[in-house]
Amino acid sequence: MSRTERPRISLREFRTLKPFFFRYKWHYCFGFICLIIVDGAQVIIPQFMRRATDIVAAGDFEWRQILVLCAAMLGTMTLILLGRLLWRYCIHGSARRIEAQMRAKLFEHLLTLSYDFYQKNKIGDLMARATNDIGAVRQSISMGLVMFIDGSVMALSILIIVFAQDAQTAALTLIPLLPVVLLILFFGSSVGKKFLRAQESYSAMSEIVQETFAGIRVIKSFVKEWWFIKQFADTNDDYRQANMELVKLFGVFFPLISLLSGLTALIILLVGGIRVVYGVLSAGELVALFSYMQMLIWPLMGAGFVVNMIQRGAVSLGRVNEIMQTVPSITSPPSPERGKPETPAVELRALSFVYPDGTEALSNISLTIERGSIIGILGKTGCGKSTLIKVLTRLVDPPAGTVFIAGTDVRHWDISELHALFGVTPQDSYLFSDSIKNNIAYGLEKPDESLLKAVAAHAALDRDLADFTAGWDTVIGERGMSLSGGQKQRVAIARALITKPEILILDDSLSAVDAETEEQVLSALMAERAGKTTIIISHRVSTFRSADKIIVLEKGRIVESGTHQQLAAGTGFYARVAALQQLE
């Protein structure tokens, strides 16, 4: 989402948390009961102080009276201790569980979203929403709720008690606290907008960090560290500035609250002292009144914290909900169909494909690929080769009635079953930060050792295993950084082969290997071709020598088709490339 299109802050976002609250309703209920008991116990303590002060002020008392009051206070404080332990465990513990479940649900949902979603959204922003934003939601449904309940119960109880004790003094004392309400309203309307800007700045900073470390090889090879340092410094400074705006708001709000609370203490000393002198109040009642008014400051200040946390939670939950409410653009049909026997592996019928931005990638392509055949695709950069692969595997949606796999329109297949037919090695050969063994076998739950060795041999990877420090168990680092380009490609080929796909697609997957290794891989594919359809995309004509059919794409159209011998003997693009590469 563009940062100029900021969402409207709404507390209605919290409605999406109903299933979580329902799951932990008894934990929250018991926690709130314990919290109210703690508040009630805290309100009692000034009464003990009132009683003790009046006893001492009378001058004629027994130590037993004081000791009884001390014991009662100790028991009340013990009750407060136990109550706080219980409500923290119930409320904070439930909020932590909800946070973990929200993060797991978000991650699961992200994996269901289509390819185009990740073209529009940056990984750094998604990471920020899954960490920082969900953390802010957890704060709002734990400490935010606690402070709301705690402040409401404490404020109401204290007001009832002080007005019952001395309504006139209480009314005069509350005058300086009335502006606090206006401050809280202003504070609440401002903090949400400023926190949203801070979260967006954090997302931008995360994007820079993610892109920097992902492209560290390129950065170092071009000696561009200084440029990325500047980029990070700029986003970091923007994040600091956004948070400083929040700090300034807090810096004004809380000192004003402290000033107004100091005025209440001054009024109590003046008015209450005069009323004690005239015998209207006892010394103990003045002490209790002073304690109550000091206790009332916390709910008022806490109201600012509550507004802050709830607003932050609403903003962050809105950002998370924005992703959760995104539906995959490509889904399985209600009644999926399966492939039909005795039909071509792939059939394209007048396929044309235009991207949403209006770019025409494929135009009127008709092609039949029989089961068990090997097809080669050659063409200039940007001619539509990769788009053709995306259409076949339905990473992007082709027009209805144009792409058929095993005789069934790809739009009628179940997505998971369709993808299971393919073994694809993309151009970038993405590998995980894990062992070589796990990178090859991650498509299977329990890979057989003999199968691992077989696919490694087919991918000409077995001869390199002796060079790795731990053999199969060598951890190759993030994105396979410790491997050469050719080794990464061969690991990706082995990973595609181990699932025994019906259709194998090698998208320029031999570009980084030498001619001898390429010949070994292709020979292994030829030997294992029975029942397996293979589509090879390459810029090397030597890769196509064993292909049953080769097509040449130009500007999204098939301009040549035939065998290697037929095309090499012609006068088209294929023949020119073959002659040039032979000369080299």
H, E, C per residue of 32-93: HHHHHHHHHHHHHHHHHHHHHHHHHHHCCCCHHHHHHHHHHHHHHHHHHHHHHHHHHHHHHH
Q: What confidence tens digit (pLDDT) does each residue in 384-410 have?
A: 998 999 999 999 999 999 999 999 999
**Domains 18-324 and 346-583 alike in fold:** no
- Alpha-carbon gap, residue 172 to 267, rounded angstroms: 7
pTM: 0.78
For residue 550, the model assigns a pLDDT of: 95
Reduced DSSP (H G I as helix, E B as strand, rest coil) percent helix, strand, coil of the chain, to 5: 65, 10, 25
Residue with tokens 């000192």: 255
The CATH superfamily of 18-324 is ABC transporter type 1, transmembrane domain (1.20.1560.10)
Confidence of residue 422 (pLDDT cuts 50, 70, 90): very high
For residue 70, the model assigns a pLDDT of: 86
Confidence of residue 4 (pLDDT cuts 50, 70, 90): very low
Query: Over 70: is that where the pLDDT of 584 sits?
Result: no
- Rounded to an integer, the average pLDDT of 189-215 is 77
Query: Over 60: is that where the pLDDT of 85 sits?
Result: yes
The residue length of the chain stands at 584
Q: How far is CA 513 from CA 142, 479, 573, in A?
A: 56, 18, 24
For residue 82, the model assigns a pLDDT of: 95
Q: Tell me the domain boundaries of the chain.
A: 18-324, 346-583
> According to the CATH classification, is domain 346-583 in 3.40.50.300?
yes
- Rounded to an integer, the average pLDDT of 535-561 is 92
Q: What is the percentage of the chain residues whose pLDDT exceeds 90?
A: 34
Q: 572: Cβ–Cβ under 8 A, 6 or more apart, which residues?
A: 552, 559, 560
Is the distance from CB of 440 to CB of 431 less than 8 angstroms?
A: no
Q: What confidence tens digit (pLDDT) does each residue in 108-136 have?
A: 999 999 888 988 888 878 888 888 889 98
- Alpha-carbon gap, residue 356 to 26, rounded angstroms: 49
